[in-house]
Amino acid sequence: MTNLSITMDLKSITINHPLRSINYLTKDIGFPSNLEEQALLNYRKAHDQAWFMKIRFEQERGNALLESIALSDLDAEITELVAMLDWYSDKGALNKELPLVEVDIKLQIELRDCYLKIEAAHRNTVKFYDRIALREQEYNDIVDTYYRYDKPLDPLKFNVLDDVFEFSSDMNVDIESLSIDLEDFLSVLSSVYDLLEKYFVAYHELHKGYGETVHKMAALTKSAQVLRPFWEAHT
């Protein structure tokens, strides 16, 4: 939506963009050149691009945080199973020399249930990688698009309006007001890249956390093998 209002011999242009309001002045008389029209259109399109970048970075950071919460729940379950297995070990319940008939039936059920829970946690840990892989795919694309190579919108190398400023005397737009608006846009654009850095932090924490969970699950699976011979030898 574009609103026009007359101020002396200048006309105020306001574009209510979702990223930020674009505001500058133009001469009330005369017609802009094709060069000026295209430059201002490209300036508005740069806002579109920055907006979609902002949305994507926020969404992927949110996805990484949500997966970290789910991973934390899985990790807590594994920690509880580690403690459970340690408790049975401390009580001597995992003595393979003890005939099964001498083991209390309630304890037999508990040991079997513990083992089944560990197996389920192992499956869930492996299956969780599918979710990590989706986030990794998005991460690699974002890195390639916005970080590893030249930035598609670089606040330090933004040249969309360079011709307008260079040939300012031939322009219909008020250069001073446009310069102020551009300065604000570049500040907002820098904050969009700050969101990118926050996303990177969230993703790397998720990736690191999953690696730690896999390591913990592997150790638990190895420790839980003491339960398999116990059942195989006495059943």
**Across 22-26, 90-94, 156-160, least confident range:** 90-94
Number of structural domains, the chain?
1
CA distances from 137 to 60, 70, 141, 214 (A): 11, 19, 6, 20
Q: Which tokens hold the place of 223?
A: 């420790």
Q: Are the CB atoms for 231 and 92 separated by under 8 Å?
A: no
26 falls within a domain:
no
Can you name the residues that pair with 56 across neighbouring β-strands?
Answer: none
Entry pTM: 0.85
9 falls within a domain:
no
107 falls within a domain:
yes
Model confidence at 193: pLDDT above 90: yes
DSSP state string for the chain: -EEEEEETTEEEEEEE-SS-EEEEEEESSS---HHHHHHHHHHHHHHHHHHHHHHHHHHHHHHHHHHHHHHHHHHHHHHHHHHHHHHHHHTTTT-TTS-GGGS-HHHHHHHHHHHHHHHHHHHHHHHHHHHHHHHHHHHHHHHHHHTSS--SS-TTS--TTHHHHHTGGG-SB-HHHHHHHHHHHHHHHHHHHHHHHHHHHHHHHHHHHHHHHHHHHHHHHHHHTTHHHHHHHH-
What's the CA gap between 201 and 64, in Å, rounded?
Answer: 10
20 falls within a domain:
no
18 falls within a domain:
no
207 falls within a domain:
yes
Q: b/e for 142-169, b at 16 or more Cβ within 10 A?
A: beeebeeeebebebeebebbebbeeeee
**Across 32-36, 100-104, 123-127, 159-163, least confident range:** 100-104
17 falls within a domain:
no
Mean pLDDT, the chain, whole residue set: 89
16 falls within a domain:
no
Q: Are the CB atoms for 26 and 17 separated by under 8 Å?
A: no
What's the CA gap between 81 and 64, in Å, rounded?
Answer: 26
State residue 31's pLDDT score: 79
Q: Are the CB atoms for 116 and 123 separated by under 8 Å?
A: no
Model confidence at 102: pLDDT above 80: no
State residue 6's pLDDT score: 43
Q: What residues make up the domain containing 222?
A: 34-234
